[in-house]
Structures are given as structure tokens and as C-alpha cells.
Amino acid sequence: MAVLPITICGDPVLHRPAAPVTEFDASLRTLVDDMFETTLAAPGVGLAAPQVGIGKRLFVWMYEDQDEAPENGVAINPELWIAPIEPGLPGEDEVEGCLSFPGERFALRRSARALLRAHDIDGKPFEIEASGWFARILQHEFDHLEGLLYVDRLVHPESRGAQKAERKNGWGKPGLSWLPGRDDLEG
């Protein structure tokens, strides 16, 4: 297994929809293993393939504080349905971060419930009903497969803070990445 470089906001792979996975083979298993290793090293609770420069529809999660699914999992070619989002501005308990926008955190209102349908590493379909932070994680990672970062969904004043952070850090252009365990970044 290997720790992979994580792409930073501005790289084209993060800003376009990912392509479906068509081959469930040894190279897919290696990618998933490497993504778990990268998530652990970052540290993070989820990682989508576009975040490691691969424009494929898959993500992994590593999250213990839920009862709906195994604490470590992979979703390949997922579909996601969410409950209506409560109106209003996000609160302090809705702050999240992103490994592709490292070291920054902003509040974002998300749905409290989600239904995930996907395939596992063997191509077997599965379904998970998630709530709370686990639902948030699934929505965050699914957004990556649609070409969205959580900062793309922010509303003012959070959106303004994200724009300032992007300028201050020199992000927003292709080719930027960081390597967990080597670079002094986290998100």
C-alpha cells in the first residue's frame, strides 16, 4: 500500500464529474487500499478518487461513530439521495473540512439523513441509510464525484472566508497537491 498525493482545489480532476468504474480488478483493489492508507495518514474520515487525481466514481470512508455501516467502507459508482435540508444558516456544529482544501474549516448546512446505494470492491450492490455526521461524510464524498468541493456550496459569509483562504494559500490552479506524512497540511 502507498500514501498518495492529495490534489488541492483548482486541479481540473476536482472540478468535473468523475467517470463510472467499469473494471473490478486488481488495480481497483490497489487503488482502494492506497486510498485507505492515504485517509489514515492525512488523517481524514473520507476520500474520493478525484482527490488523489483519479477521475473515477468511488470513495472510501473511515468513521467509527455510527451504527449504520462498517467503520471502514468503499462506495463504487454510488447513487445518493438526501432528505430535505433544514432552512437557515449553518451553525457551529456544522463545520467541516476537506483534504483538498487543507487546514481550512467552514460551516455548511447539509441534510441530516442520506440513502447510499453503491457497489463494494467485489462489485456487489449494497445500500446504507445514514444519519448525522455519517450522512454528512457521504454527502461530502459524493459531491467530489460530481465535481464539487464543499466550499462550492458555502453561503455568505462562509463563502467569502473560503475565497480569501484560497487566494492566501495560492490555490485555484492546476497541479497543486500535498502528501500526508510529508507535508505539514491537514484538512
- First vs last C-alpha separation in the chain: 22
Whether residue 183 lies inside any domain: the answer is no
Whether residue 143 lies inside any domain: the answer is yes
φ, ψ of residue 162 to 5 degrees: the values are -65, -40
Mean per-residue pLDDT, 138-159: 96
Q: Please give the annotated binding residues, written as ranges.
A: 98, 140, 144
In terms of residue numbers, what domain contains 114? 6-178
**Beta carbons of 58 and 142 less than 8 angstroms apart:** no
Rounded to whole angstroms, the Cα distance separating 187 from 98 reads 5
Q: Please give the annotated binding residues for Fe cation, written as ranges.
A: 98, 140, 144
Rounded to whole angstroms, the Cα distance separating 13 from 109 reads 25
pLDDT category at 186 given cuts 50, 70, 90 is very low
Q: Residue 27 sits in a domain of what CATH number?
A: 3.90.45.10
pLDDT category at 187 given cuts 50, 70, 90 is very low
Summarised one tens digit per residue, pLDDT across range 20-54 is 999 999 999 999 999 999 999 999 999 999 999 99
Q: Is the full-model pTM beyond 0.75?
A: yes
Domain count, the chain: 1
Whether residue 57 lies inside any domain: the answer is yes
Whether residue 155 lies inside any domain: the answer is yes
Rounded to whole angstroms, the Cα distance separating 144 from 125 reads 21
Contacts by 71-74, CB closer than 8 A, 24 or more apart: 72/36, 73/120, 74/32, 74/35, 74/120, 74/121
pLDDT category at 181 given cuts 50, 70, 90 is confident
Rounded to whole angstroms, the Cα distance separating 3 from 35 reads 7
Whether residue 171 lies inside any domain: the answer is yes
Active site residues: 141
Summarised one tens digit per residue, pLDDT across range 70-91 is 899 999 999 999 999 988 889 8
pLDDT category at 58 given cuts 50, 70, 90 is very high
